[in-house]
Amino acid sequence: MQASPIFILMLLLTAMLYSCGGTTKPVEQKQTFLPITIIAEGDGLHSIIEEGTQAEILGSGFAWTEGPLWIEEEEMLLFSEIPANKVHFWKEGSSPKVYLQPAGLTSNENRGGEVGSNGLLLDPYGKLVLCQHGDRRMARMTAELNAPEPVYETIVGEYEGKPLNSPNDAVYDTQGNLYFTDPPYGLEYRMDDPKKAIDFQGVYKLNKDGELQLLLDSITRPNGIALFPDEKQLIIANSDPENPIWYHYSLDGANGLTAGRVFYDASEVASNEAGLPDGLKIKNDGTVIATGPGGIWFFGPSGSLLGRLKLSERVSNVALNKKENLLFATADSYVLRIPLK
């Protein structure tokens, strides 16, 4: 009996399915994105990011994310969730998971405020270092990166016998000196907290021999901090709504900072858009990538504005991978990845 045309068509379709791997071929999950509006000043920003680029959402639903750190050897992103007192990790193909808890307040003290860790970085020996708001110290995780445990040792927690406010962001130079900022954000009542022991918001240098030096006490809310590749200059973000400015300083050897100047004043944009100067990173070519009002800002090494990436969420901090072709960002309840050229 002659086969019907419908039967023949079904056989052909079945053969095609099996030749392509059949129905067992996995269906790719759709990625989710936050839109980006690129606001360029001249052509500089277009050499860094493609027109139409979006921010890929790696994780969401967090209370407030901060301190992203890309660890190349582990192909892993770490980030702080400050109110939850946790550090999370993310790897390709998976959702974020808890990496450390507790992360910033390790005692049984029952208190409010931003108690978790903030900035994260690696020390010269590859150990994880945390800016711990709750414990008011710079601390080091004693365990290895691939076997994390919430056990920490203090790197520094006092200045002239008084507890620090709440270390916020930090960076090491290649000699092993640690630079960090110390605003009041981790104190339960911030500037009015009765436990605030230091009457200024400091920027410090802990040299490799363990000596703590106060570099600045004049910035009202020192926040993000980053060194230029030559390690002779640094930038400090001031997250003060009354003075939203990035400052530039030259490093004068053992004597501290000199030649302070305004790197960029964001007052005009800050009056209309959410966010303040916060975390930042500097690329190997000296390009400054800084979070601030309205999103992520890009500057040339001298302070010329290349442009901004405008996002719908307040962006707190950024991190780069080793090739500097991926930018990771913490933005309110999100963790994002943005491809760069």
Q: What is the pLDDT of residue 341?
A: 94
Q: What is the pLDDT of residue 29?
A: 40
Q: Give 10-residue mean pLDDT values along the chain (341 residues).
A: 44 41 39 94 92 97 98 98 98 97 96 96 98 98 98 98 98 97 98 97 97 97 98 98 98 87 98 97 98 98 97 97 98 98 94
Instruction: Give the domain ranges of the chain.
Output: 61-218
Answer CATH for 61-218 from 3.30.1460.30, 2.120.10.30, 2.40.160.20, 3.40.50.170: 2.120.10.30
**SS3 for the chain, per residue?**
CCCCHHHHHHHHHHHHHHHCCHHHCCCCCCCCEECCEEEECCCCHHHCCCCCCCEEEEECCCCCEEEEEEEHHHCEEEEEECCCCEEEEECCCCCCEEEECCCCCCCCCCCCCCCCEEEEEECCCCCEEEEECCCCEEEEECCCCCCCCCCEEEEECEECCEECCCCCCEEECCCCCEEEEECCCCCCCHHHCCCCCCCCCEEEEECCCCCEEEEECCCCCEEEEEECCCCCEEEEEEEECCEEEEEEEEECHHHCEEEEEEEEECHHHHCCCCCCCCCEEECCCCCEEEEECCEEEEECCCCCEEEEEECCCCEEEEEECCCCCEEEEEECCEEEEEECC
